[in-house]
Structure 1
Amino acid sequence: MDSGMIGKIEKAKRYAEEKDRITINNFQATFKGDNNDHVVQYEQGKWTCDCEFFQTRGVCVHTMALEMVLKGMVANAEIVQG
């Protein structure tokens, strides 16, 4: 492996540890739930999930789990009191 690539790999490792460098604006993911798969989307700071719980609360286990995985890179969902 050439020295230029070695330097890039080391820099990538450093960046991966500095999660505050990353802000995710949009993505879609399929979350494999215990009973069904669910589509979770994140667009410009807003979460959506196709599960029934999210439809009434604006937050669910799927969005909360992704917030934990992506901590610091995405905004947290606001809980709707209902």
Structure 2
Amino acid sequence: MNSSMIGKIEKAHRYAKEPERVRLSCVEATFQGAHDEYQIRLKDGHWTCSCHTFTSHAVGTCSHVMALQQMLARMLPDSLRYDTDADTPAAVAVAAAR
């Protein structure tokens, strides 16, 4: 392996330890929930999930979206992260449930 490629691999390892360098704008994932598989998407600044809770409740989130937001938090802009301190319908619903 040439020295140029070795340098690229070392740089990739350093970058991998700094996920905050990446800003995700689109995400599509399959989430294995407790009862079924769900499709989660982040597109045009909005999260969606195929689960019943997300599609039938007005809170605008679900446990699958919140879990993915926590997993990806360092790579998401603040506006797309789950924040229990924010004055959003989801945060209000979560706070009320406590």
TM-superposed deviation, 1:45: 2.4
TM-score, structure 2 as length reference: 0.73
Q: Mind listing any 5+ residue stretches in structure 2 that lack a counterpart?
A: 83-87, 94-98
Query: Which ranges of 4 or more aligned residues in structure 1 deviate by more than 4 Å?
Result: none
TM-superposed deviation, 1:3: 1.1
* Pair 1:44–1:73, CA change in 2 (3 A): farther
* Amino acid of the structure 2 residue aligned with 1:61: S
Q: Mind listing any 5+ residue stretches in structure 1 that lack a counterpart?
A: none
More helix by share: 2
TM-superposed deviation, 1:20: 1.8
TM-score, structure 1 as length reference: 0.85
Other structure's SS at 1:47 match: strand
More strand by share: 1
Q: Deviations over 1:7-52 (max 9, x none)?
A: 0011111111122210111121111111111000001321100111
Count how many residue pairs are aligned between Structure 1 and Structure 2. Answer: 82
RMSD: 1.7
Task: Return the match for 2:70 from 68, 76, 82.
Answer: 68
Residues 4-43 of structure 1: pairs in structure 2 closer than 5 A: 4-43=4-43
